[in-house]
Structure 1
C-alpha cells in the first residue's frame, strides 16, 4: 500500500505538527512550501493523498487542486484542504475547486490522522456517518 502523503503547506509549525502526527502512524510525509513545488513533487512521488493549504504563496490552493486534477496520473488522488478558511462558503469553494475533503485549522491532534486516513484507507463495513 502507498504510505506517502504530500503536504503542501508554507507554515513551518503546521508542517511539523502534521508530519509528527502522521509519521507516528506509519505514514511517510513529503513537503512542499508552495504550489508550484507541490505540483512537481506530486508528479514525482504519486502520493496516496495530498494535504493542501489554501493560502499559499505564488499559487493558491484552488489553483493547485485544479492543476492536480488536470494531471491524468493524479486526477483521482484524494486532495484534502487543510485550511484556516472557515467562513461560510469556504468549504463549498474548496470542494467545487476539486478537493475531496476539507479539514479546518487549527487541527485537532486527537482526530486529525483518523480524518486523513478516512480519505485513503478502506472503511470497515457499516462504518461512516
Structure 2
C-alpha cells in the first residue's frame, strides 16, 4: 500500500483529504505544519505528500526545500494543495520541487486526476466509492 503524508494546519482539510486518499488505497499520516511533516519524513519517507502552503511554524514552501535536501527526499511526489493561486506561487512551488498543484477547495476527482498525472495511481486503481 502506498503512503501519503497530508500536511495542513486545518484539521478539517486533513480529514477530507484522508477520506479521499484512503478511498484511493493510500495509508495516511498527518502533520499540522512543515516542522512536524519534516520530522515524519525523517522517520519514514512517504510515497506522496499533499502539502498546504500557509501554515504556522514552517510553511509548505520551506518544508519542500528541506524535504528535497533529505536523503531520499527526492522520491516523494509532492502535490501542493493551497488557496495560493498566483502564477508566482505556482512557479515557485514547481521550481522548488513540487510535482503538481491543486487549488482549494478540492474534491476527489481533482485529487485523483493530479495523483494520476504524477504516476501515483493508475486509472484502474481508483476506488469506485
- The TM tier, using the shorter chain, reads 0.7 to 0.9
Contact in 1 for aligned 2:8/2:32 (Cα 8 Å): yes
Q: Does 2:55 correspond to 1:48?
A: no
Deviations 1:68-121 (CA, angstroms, capped at 9, x unpaired): 010021223211111110123221121122211111111133332232243233
Q: Which runs of 5+ in 2 are unaligned?
A: 124-129
Q: Which runs of 5+ in 1 are unaligned?
A: 125-129
Q: TM-score scaled to structure 1, two decimals? A: 0.86
Q: Which residue is 2:25 aligned to?
A: 26
Match of 1:89, SS? helix
Match of 2:80, SS? strand
For residues 6 and 100 of structure 2, what CA distance do their matches in structure 1 show?
14
- Structure (1 or 2) with the greater helix fraction: 2
For residues 115 and 122 of structure 2, what CA distance do their matches in structure 1 show?
12
Runs of 4 or more, structure 1, over 4 Å off, are none
Deviation at 1:123, TM superposition (A): 5.8
For residues 87 and 45 of structure 2, what CA distance do their matches in structure 1 show?
32
Q: How many residues align?
A: 123
Contact in 2 for aligned 1:8/1:33 (Cα 8 Å): yes
Matches for 1:31-110 after TM superposition, within 5 Å: 31-110=30-109
Question: CA 1:46/1:24 → structure 2, altered by over 3 Å: closer, same or farther?
Answer: same
